[in-house]
Structure 1
Amino acid sequence: MLTSGSPAPELELEDTAGQAWRLSDLRGAHSALLYFMRSTSCPICNRHVRDLVAQRDRFAADDVRVLIVVPEARDVGLAWKTDRGIPFPVLVGSAGTAHESVGLTRRVFGSMQQSGTVLVDPDGIIRHAHGATLPVNSYDKKGIIAAIDVMRSRASH
């Protein structure tokens, strides 16, 4: 898993329309909060996404772009986004799984998909990274808010 204070990896994903998306495209302009879902059918992950949607005004006020990353194919991601009215971009891996690119896979009797969050500041530095095998532990809301508060205080100095 990624660590706070380290440079973010160059993530190259696709949105549900098939358009290329790069984390580096936000550099210098916006922070990014990526929520990596275990799967679109995970009820706990869906609850976390509902909370992200409920918090969207706060994230927007702090210029944090929220992105949801799903391990499924683009068509599944699009159907899920449409059915639930998700206002954020939904991203999928363009080659392999996006989760693996940030260290969110665990090998135990095969492969078990992990979920988690990564907050990257406008300079491309990871300010919060948290992953978990159990989805109930994958969304560290307090940690995310605290990291955003620190970023805001640094920006005002």
Structure 2
Amino acid sequence: MPDLELVSPRGDRNTLHSIRGGERAIAYFLRSDTCPICLKHARSLAELAEAGGLGGTSVVLIVPGDVGEAREVATKVPSTAVTAWASGSGHAAAGMGVFLSVQHSGTFLIAPDGTVEYRRTSALPPRSMDRKELLEAIAR
């Protein structure tokens, strides 16, 4: 997984690998801070994390754009179990480009060494996260 530079809802800058702190993490890339399906997936991840259903795996929500978009996601997914960040144009570096004006979204399970253990991406947000698949990947 590329070590993307990210910005927090408060304007702090950090990298994805620093945020993970060498631990296993789920990075969920939303297509925008207004995508209702992406926000639903983000809330689902927050609920799983809050309930201990992710085995201690942290969750990083990443939206394209800047501090304003990160702030919107943090407001719309109010949970201490996840963190919200903005990637600027970093989604493309993670392999999720724009096709016919549609930003791709996706779910990545990142190992402690930074490699990707699981990946599911799509131009269609309903297909960018599969709860069952993700939980199976975490259990491996």
Give the aligned partner of residue 43 of structure 1. 36
Identity %: 31
Structure 2's unaligned 5+ residue stretches are: none
**2:68 corresponds to which residue?**
75
Structure 1 pair 102/147, CA: closer, same or farther in 2 (3 Å)? Answer: same
Instruction: Tell me the equivalent position of 2:105.
Output: 115
In structure 2, the partner of 1:66 is 59
Q: 2:97, 2:103 within 8 Å by CA — same for their partners in 1?
A: yes
CA separation of 1:10/1:146 partners in 2, compared to 1, >3 Å: closer, same or farther?
A: same
Are 1:27 and 1:123, in contact at CA under 8 Å, matched by a contact in 2?
no
Larger Rg: 1 or 2?
1
Residue aligning to 2:9: 16
Query: What is the DSSP-based 3-state SS (H/G/I as helix, E as strand, rest coil) of the residue aligned with 1:142?
Result: helix
1:101 aligned partner: 93
Q: Deviations over 1:16-61 (max 9, x none)?
A: 1222222332354x111011111111111111112111101222xx
1:92 equivalent in alignment to 2:86: yes
CA displacement 1:50-83 (0-9 Å, x = unmatched): 2111101222xx2311010011321232134125
Q: Deviations over 1:100-154 (max 9, x none)?
A: 111111333xx3201101110112121011110011101121221111111xxxx
Out of 129, 134, 137, the residue aligned to residue 144 of structure 1 is 134
- Show the counterpart of 1:4: none
Count of aligned positions? 136
Coordinate RMSD, CA, aligned: 1.7
* Aligned equivalents of 1:77, 1:24: Cα separation in 2: 18
Measure the CA separation in 1 of the matches of 2:30 and 2:99: 17
Structure 1 residues 47 and 83, CA, compared in 2 at 3 Å: closer, same or farther? closer
The TM-score, its normalising length taken from structure 1, stands at 0.78
Indicate if the aligned counterparts of 2:69 and 2:86 stay in contact, CA closer than 8 A: no
Given the superposition, is the C-alpha separation of residues 80 and 27 from structure 1 closer, same or farther in structure 2, using an over 3 Å criterion?
closer
Letter in 2 for 1:130: R
| TM-score of the aligned structures, taking structure 2 as reference length | 0.86
